[in-house]
Amino acid sequence: EAMRGVTNDLLSIQGNTGPSWINKTERAFFRGRDSREERLQLVQLSKENPQLLDAGITGYFFFQEKEKELGKAKLMGFFDFFKENDEAAKKIAKEGQLMARDLLQPHRLYCYYYQVLQKYAERQSSKPKVRDGMELIPQPEDSTAICQCHRKKPSREEL
């Protein structure tokens, strides 16, 4: 039951290049389970304004008593979802690719781990003990380190 939506998405994209973008509609769209009360309110707004919003709950768990009142929506395939707004879908895809390409570079990962280990070291309550069998691994001089993140302030907020 927990994988129902994921399975639906996987099955909907296998061998499917998506629907024709010409058939999109000018409405907001939502499908999801009843994990928050705001989602139920969204479905109610959809019932009152169907020309503006198509919202539906695909599975009830927390608010089962609302299923009769609000109804249960069918799952929608991955590409059927994106036919509703082609330009936004294209923009989301392009920006996701650019972000992944930018943030997942080796030097970014190195800097991330550097910062994580620095914070971890700050929170240690005692000095590390050198135990029998441990070996000292010489470190390169700081000036030769790949990571430059501790030398300059970031120009923008990083994730």
CA dist list (Å): 23 to 85, 90, 145: 10, 16, 54
Say what the pTM is. 0.40
End-to-end Cα, the chain, rounded Å: 33
What are 56's two structure tokens? 């539906």
Of all residues in the chain, the percent with pLDDT exceeding 70 is: 66
3-state secondary structure of 22: helix
Q: Residue 29 — φ and ψ, nearest 5°?
A: -140, 140
Helix (H, G, I), strand (E, B) or coil at 32: strand
Q: pLDDT, tens digit, for every residue of 59-112?
A: 889 888 898 888 888 877 666 666 666 777 778 878 888 888 888 787 778 888
Which tokens go with 41? 């309110």
